[in-house]
Amino acid sequence: MEPILVVRGLKTEFTTSRGILRAVDGVDLDIGKGEVLGLVGESGCGKTVTALSIMYLLAQPPGRIAGGAIWFRGLNLLAGSEEDIRVRPRSKGPPKLIPSDSHLKRHRARMNKIRGRGLSMVFQEPMSSLNPVLRVGYQVAEVIMFQRRREICDRILSRRNLTPADLDLFRLAMATADPAERERLVVDLCAGSGLPPDKVNALIDASGLDIEERIQRLQRLAPRHRFGDRTWPRFLKHLDALEEAHFAREWAKLSRQSVGQAAIDLFDPGKNPVARDLPPLASVTPREESLALYFRSTAVREKRTALEPTEGLRAAVEQLLRDSAKGPFGVMFADVESVTLGKNAIELRFPARPPFHLGAELDYWSRRVIYRILLTIPLLRSQLMRPVEEEARRDVLQLLRLVRIPEPTKVYDEYPHELSGGMQQRVMIAMALAGEPALMIADEPTTALDVTTQAQILWLLKDLRKRIDAAILYITHDLAVVAELSDRVAVMYAGKIVEDAPVADLFREPLHPYAQGLLESIVSTETRQLEPGAMLPTIPGTVPDLLNPPSGCRFHPRCKFAFARCQTEEPMLLSPVPNRKVACHLYDKEAANVPGH
Amino acid sequence: MSPVTEDRNEVLLAARGLKKHFAVKGGLLQRTVAKVRAVDGVDLAIRRGETLALVGESGCGKTTLGRLLLRLIEPTEGDVLFNVPKGAYERIREDGPHVSKDDGQTNNLVRQYSMTRLRRRSMKSLRRFLQPVFQDPFTSLDPRMLIKDILAEPLIVNRIATRQEAYELGAKQLQEVGLRAEHLYRFPHEFSGGQRQRIAIARALVSEPEFLMLDEPTSALDVSVQAQILNLLLDIQQKQGLTYLLITHNLSVVRHMADRVAVMYLGRIVERAPTAELFGNPLHPYTKALLSAIPVPDPNRRRERIILPGEVPSPINPPSGCRFHTRCGFVLVNCGWSPRDIATMAAHLFDPSRNPEAAELSQLDEVVIQGDRLLLAYRAPATEVQRERVEWLVRARAALPDGIRFRAIQNVAVDDGRIALEFLHPVEPPLLEVSTEHVVSCYLYPTAEVPRGN
């Protein structure tokens, strides 16, 4: 499966008054296209911090991503963020954190482009993530106006007149008695023609009027291209396109610069077994549009001599890129255009970037400033954004229908407190889906809900999986929910992944003692016939304090299989069985003869 | 006569026709504009030593009922009985509040055992026997009190022990729930969720109660901690012979903990049965939906899901007849369909300008709900021909697969120039005992003949 998100050795820490708290300590995750990965663990295991690190939504300071890489569709999300906070040690007290504004701002702006359209997130408490003073519909529309403005402007510009098919829809809507069916027809009619739904509804309900009269009024409503209505959307669209191009260029530049480390991993036989037959890499030099690879000879006597690249080596490198294109390290080299023999080096050439026009760029920034100033004036803002907002409204109604909210036109104008918890969570899901993301992170979306509402939301997510093309990272502490929804499960404990397995395998035979304990402690009505009133098996103890984690395997104080080695040596995430990984000494081949299991 | 006696009678707590209506104030003068019927006529007995589970979605009134049973709030109507002998309870129950038989003897019995008619002072002496454990341990502990003070307070307030004894008893109790003495001098914020819930349980137990109301004791906790807390509760119950009322929406917990289960929907109890019976043979469609909503921790097992459409209707104006009929998958004609279920549809169906099939009718001016009748006011006074047309439309609609609500229309008549659609008078299905101890309120089970097993 093609991976869309690859996390390698992610480390996130928080500076507290009692020292540095490593909430996430070397997490590796892979999520394939369209895959649902369940991330499970008790509270305080670092699940949410992992999600926030991926989204780059951590409060910084006190939080800080201390290491690792997050590759999303071939882009390093952390590129350019390394400089955002400089840590200056002090002789007394905690180190001083100095934010570096310009880097921070540029990286933030880039992340804003990724968030929503590439990655989106559904939070645990819908009531605290929705703005209580804004109407629900506007909050969803805002997302669309921000993320898909170009598309919306396009649609305003290509707005068509009413067709006979639209009029038939209107007739049908008037004739149907079922409110849900009528709602569906109205939304269809409005999405196609660009009519405001409230006016269409008013016309349908105008019982005093003759049918023909109502159709005439509808037609009169339709041609809405008033003079000057089109210049503003065109300008906005232009601005958006320029902005997009600008950020695309910057991303490409940064990603290229950060591709060096990826190349080292790619040619390291320890990490990428395909690279076994190649000579060791001496150094990597990233350049503007290419990457130069220097190799050294393997012969022992000529230890430090550079290897003169040959045609055979070039072919081998090309082959390696092809072989590992699907792997986690090859993703970043997917767009390599050619592999050529250079002077003393092999050059990976990337596609050339579009030429840079200084004039257009200057013009763009001055226009952008004008636009920003204009939009700070509330009256102007509401006037200028009105056509965009009206257009976004149609998209919102479609989205609300997608997440199965009944009567979307009514819900659009309601405030969050007027909706139930389940409906609020649906609105949050609609917002997350508004940018058509490639990966949706759902952070305990059903924990605060009733069992029946949880069933509704889970059913909705399952249904959405079929209809949208998004991968889901589902964070929860309830393994039963994971069993319902996900393809693969990663179990997290004290900031580390301890087990990663396909869902069926994990539930059939959990390997890590922590995963075993979690599975046993589920109170279930169906799978295990437990004597009612009998004691439930539990995991003794609690999640350790991450300021001072236990030595060796972090689970050893609570583990019933722990032996001497667990206290001193930290287990690696290894793969004893194909397709699954576990970090436990019990499954280490060297320790196979250790008693206790 | 005080109900506090040395006798340990069979029925520890009972609700008799219990109602709690909250007033919704509105307007300039803050007058009562509506009533939220949170608990609307509940009869329930909790026997000594058992665990009774109260199950339902949020907003169905289970927490309100729990608070009423502890008399934390005063009921609008009905009584909470305390420590009733079985015989007396049977007599009070037989001529219950629904049979208006104003018999002096019954009234005397009720007065004798009623806890809600006690005065403040005599109620206070009872409080130590009835203790609550609340859902969220993050808000139910005072953040400014040390754990030792939290644990001693119930004893000092109820004047059970002197200050010195109270601290000793509190420390002892803390060890009972699996915490250590060193935890006494800490504040609540220093503990994890599971530990706080243990402290809340210790606080409830310190006055040696007979009854604990557990209001969602584990729903704010992790799965692994949930198992620890449930084990603790079971252990305490076995040691001290406590009686539990377990309020939850998590049916897996119920199966593990409870002896009997009562399912609540919109302020009414719709099904009540011993746990094994309820899980093996659920009868009410709402219970079936609740059971099917539990996620199964096994990826290879797929279960037929009943997804309930929509949400719990507003308890301000609950649906007539069976309150569940608007979301039920097994509706019958007599489930309680009323004019308001079809009012919006009627405005379309019988309007000639919207429905070509109704073209013969004159213009529809108004649709009025009047009791069990829906009145259609046309511009021209209705004639027999029009009545026949409306009747034909109703029959046609009723013949459709989803036309159940139109099938409940009994008669189409002309009344004062308007056309009246007369509905079956909605009656709530009574709670009938279908087998031993298994009580259900649903028209699907009119008699004791019940389909057995699956």
Residue A597: its pLDDT value, please?
42
With CA atoms as reference, report the closest residue to A418 among B309, B314, B319, B62: B314
| pLDDT tens digits, one per residue of A353-402 | 555 454 555 666 677 777 778 778 888 887 778 778 888 888 898 889 88
Question: How far is residue B382's CA from residue B386's CA, in Å, rounded to a whole number?
Answer: 6
Say which residue, A50 or B381, is predicted with more confidence: A50
Least confident of A237-251, A544-558, B202-216, B247-261: A237-251
Q: Which two tokens stand for residue A403?
A: 């997440």
Closest Cβ–Cβ partner in B222, B257, B344 for A477: B222
In a shared domain, residues A14 and A106: yes
Domain-embedded: residue A430? no
In a shared domain, residues A478 and A519: no
- Give whole-number Cα distances, A426 to A408, A416, B66, B196, in Å: 12, 11, 31, 32
* Interchain proximity B298–A507, CB inside 8 Å: yes
Contact (Cβ atoms closer than 8 angstroms) between residue A481 and residue B295: yes
- Sort A37 into a burial class: Cβ within 10 Å, 0-12 / 13-18 / 19+: buried
pLDDT above 70 as % of chain B: 94
Instruction: Reply yes or no on whether the pLDDT at B1 is more than 50.
Output: no
What is the per-residue burial (b if ≥16 Cβ within 10 Å, else e) of A113-152? bbbbbbbbbbbbbbeebbeeeebbbbbbbbbbbebbbbeb
A481 contacts in B (CB within 8 Å)? 295
Contact (Cβ atoms closer than 8 angstroms) between residue B324 and residue B308: no
List the beta bridge partners of residue B422.
B373, B411
Contact (Cβ atoms closer than 8 angstroms) between residue B343 and residue B367: yes
Pairing of strands B130-133, B211-215: parallel
* Interchain proximity A43–B310, CB inside 8 Å: no
Residue ranges making up the domain that contains A92: 3-132+435-490
Nearest-neighbour CA in chain B from A61: distance (Å): 23
Domain-embedded: residue A165? no
Give, in degrees to the nearest 5, the angle at Cα A356 between A350 and A357: 165
* Interchain proximity B296–A527, CB inside 8 Å: yes
Nearest-neighbour CA in chain B from A561: distance (Å): 18
Q: Which two tokens stand for residue A254?
A: 């940064």
Residue A336: its pLDDT value, please?
75
In a shared domain, residues A25 and A115: yes
pLDDT band per the 50, 70, 90 thresholds, residue B224 = confident
User: How large is the average pLDDT for residues A86-102?
Assistant: 66
Domain-embedded: residue A393? no
Contact (Cβ atoms closer than 8 angstroms) between residue B75 and residue B20: yes
Question: How far is residue A345's CA from residue A558's CA, in Å, rounded to a whole number?
Answer: 53
The verdict on B293 touching A (C-beta cutoff 8 Å) is yes
A504 contacts in B (CB within 8 Å)? 299-300
Domain-embedded: residue A173? no
Domain-embedded: residue A381? no
The set of residues, in sequence order, having a beta carbon less than 8 Å from that of B98 and lying 6+ positions away, is: B17
User: What is the residue whose two structure tokens read 């249904």?
Assistant: A463
Residues in chain A, total = 597
Minimal-distance CA residue of chain B relative to A203 = B354
* Interchain proximity A538–B256, CB inside 8 Å: no
User: How large is the average pLDDT for residues A82-90?
Assistant: 61
In a shared domain, residues A119 and A13: yes
Count CB atoms within 10 A of the CB of residue A86: 13
Nearest-neighbour CA in chain A from B398: distance (Å): 13
pLDDT band per the 50, 70, 90 thresholds, residue A160 = low
Rounded to the nearest 10°, the torsion over CA B109, B113, B116, B120 is 120
Say which residue, A312 or A82, is predicted with more confidence: A312
In a shared domain, residues A16 and A124: yes
Under DSSP, the state recorded for A60 is T
Q: B1-129+211-216+241-319+430-454 belongs to which CATH class?
A: alpha beta
In a shared domain, residues A457 and A561: no
Task: Write down which residue in A331, A349, A367 finishes a domain.
Answer: A349
* Interchain proximity B296–A182, CB inside 8 Å: no
Least confident of A171-180, A355-364, A544-553: A355-364
Nearest-neighbour CA in chain A from B365: distance (Å): 8
pLDDT above 90 as % of chain B: 25
User: How large is the average pLDDT for residues A415-436?
Assistant: 88
Instruction: Reply yes or no on whether the pLDDT at B50 is more than 50.
Output: yes
Residue A492: its pLDDT value, please?
92
Residue A331: its pLDDT value, please?
61
Instruction: Reply yes or no on whether the pLDDT at B95 is more than 60.
Output: no
Say which residue, B29 or B244, is predicted with more confidence: B244
Pairing of strands A119-122, A439-443: parallel
DSSP assignment string, B287-302: HHHHHHTSPPS-TT--
Instruction: Reply yes or no on whether the pLDDT at B362 is more than 50.
Output: yes
User: What is the residue whose two structure tokens read 């636009």?
Assistant: A371
Domain-embedded: residue A325? yes
Q: Which two tokens stand for residue A561?
A: 């299989």
User: How large is the average pLDDT for residues A335-360?
Assistant: 70
Nearest-neighbour CA in chain A from B36: distance (Å): 16
Residue A595: its pLDDT value, please?
44
Residue A257: its pLDDT value, please?
63
Closest Cβ–Cβ partner in B293, B346, B353 for A454: B293
Minimal-distance CA residue of chain A relative to B288 = A452
pLDDT band per the 50, 70, 90 thresholds, residue A560 = confident
Nearest-neighbour CA in chain A from B400: distance (Å): 12
Instruction: Reply yes or no on whether the pLDDT at A232 is more than 50.
Output: yes
Contact (Cβ atoms closer than 8 angstroms) between residue A502 and residue A579: yes
**Which stretches of A47-205 are assigned E, i.e. beta strand?**
63-72, 75-76, 85-88, 96-99, 119-122
Contact (Cβ atoms closer than 8 angstroms) between residue A425 and residue A457: yes
User: How large is the average pLDDT for residues A52-58?
Assistant: 89
In a shared domain, residues A452 and A547: no
Say which residue, A98 or A477, is predicted with more confidence: A477
In a shared domain, residues A8 and A114: yes
Instruction: Reply yes or no on whether the pLDDT at A228 is more than 60.
Output: no
Q: Which two tokens stand for residue B62?
A: 């289970």
With CA atoms as reference, report the closest residue to A54 among A448, A553, A490: A490
Residue A520: its pLDDT value, please?
84
Q: What is the residue type of B34?
A: A
Count CB atoms within 10 A of the CB of residue A459: 16
The set of residues, in sequence order, having a beta carbon less than 8 Å from that of A430 and lying 6+ positions away, is: A140, A396, A399, A400, A402, A403, A405
User: How large is the average pLDDT for residues A409-435?
Assistant: 88
| pLDDT tens digits, one per residue of B144-200 | 999 999 999 999 988 888 899 999 999 999 988 888 888 899 999 888 888 899 999
Contact (Cβ atoms closer than 8 angstroms) between residue B167 and residue B248: no
User: How large is the average pLDDT for residues B7-26?
Assistant: 86
Question: How far is residue A145's CA from residue A384's CA, in Å, rounded to a whole number?
Answer: 13
List the beta bridge partners of residue B440.
B271, B432
Minimal-distance CA residue of chain B relative to A420 = B311
- Sort B100 into a burial class: Cβ within 10 Å, 0-12 / 13-18 / 19+: exposed
| pLDDT tens digits, one per residue of A204-218 | 777 667 777 887 777
- Helix, strand, coil percentages, rounded to 5, for chain A: 45, 20, 35
Residue B450: its pLDDT value, please?
46
With CA atoms as reference, report the closest residue to A430 among A142, A38, A34, A180: A142
Question: How far is residue B337's CA from residue B349's CA, in Å, rounded to a whole number?
Answer: 17
In a shared domain, residues A94 and A7: yes
Instruction: Reply yes or no on whether the pLDDT at A255 is more than 70.
Output: no
Q: Which two tokens stand for residue B452?
A: 């057995």
The verdict on B356 touching A (C-beta cutoff 8 Å) is yes
The verdict on B235 touching A (C-beta cutoff 8 Å) is yes
| pLDDT tens digits, one per residue of B204-216 | 999 889 999 999 8
User: How large is the average pLDDT for residues A547-571?
Assistant: 86
Say which residue, A492 or B101, is predicted with more confidence: A492
- Give whole-number Cα distances, A359 to A106, A355, A365, in Å: 21, 12, 10
Give, in degrees to the nearest 5, the angle at Cα A197 between A193 and A199: 105
Domain-embedded: residue A180? no
Which residues numbered 248-267 in B keep a CB inside 8 Å of some CB on A?
249-253, 255-257
| pLDDT tens digits, one per residue of B262-317 | 999 999 999 999 998 998 899 999 999 888 888 877 777 766 777 787 778 888 88
Q: Which two tokens stand for residue A86?
A: 């400089």
Q: Where in chain B is the domain with CATH 3.40.50.300?
A: 1-129+211-216+241-319+430-454
Residue B51: its pLDDT value, please?
93
Q: Which two tokens stand for residue B355?
A: 């429905």
- Give whole-number Cα distances, A275 to A264, A266, A284, A323, A339, in Å: 11, 7, 16, 9, 16
Question: How far is residue B356's CA from residue B206's CA, in Å, rounded to a whole number?
Answer: 73
Question: How far is residue A502's CA from residue A508's CA, in Å, rounded to a whole number?
Answer: 10
- Sort B436 into a burial class: Cβ within 10 Å, 0-12 / 13-18 / 19+: exposed
Domain-embedded: residue A557? yes
Residue A88: its pLDDT value, please?
66
- Cis bond before residue A62 (omega within 30° of 0): yes
Residue B448: its pLDDT value, please?
46
pLDDT above 90 as % of chain A: 9
pLDDT band per the 50, 70, 90 thresholds, residue A36 = very high
Residue B10: its pLDDT value, please?
85
User: How large is the average pLDDT for residues A48-60?
Assistant: 88
What is the domain-level CATH number for residue A484? Answer: 3.40.50.300
Task: Write down which residue in A298, A323, A349 finishes a domain.
Answer: A349
B311 contacts in A (CB within 8 Å)? 420, 422-423, 453
Question: How far is residue B420's CA from residue A521's CA, in Å, rounded to a whole number?
Answer: 60
3-state secondary structure of B140: coil
Under DSSP, the state recorded for B430 is P
Residue A34: its pLDDT value, please?
85
According to DSSP H, which parts of B17-83 are helical?
62-69
Domain count, chain A: 3
The verdict on B136 touching A (C-beta cutoff 8 Å) is no
Whole-number average pLDDT of chain A: 79
- Give whole-number Cα distances, B66 to B73, B133, B211, in Å: 10, 11, 12
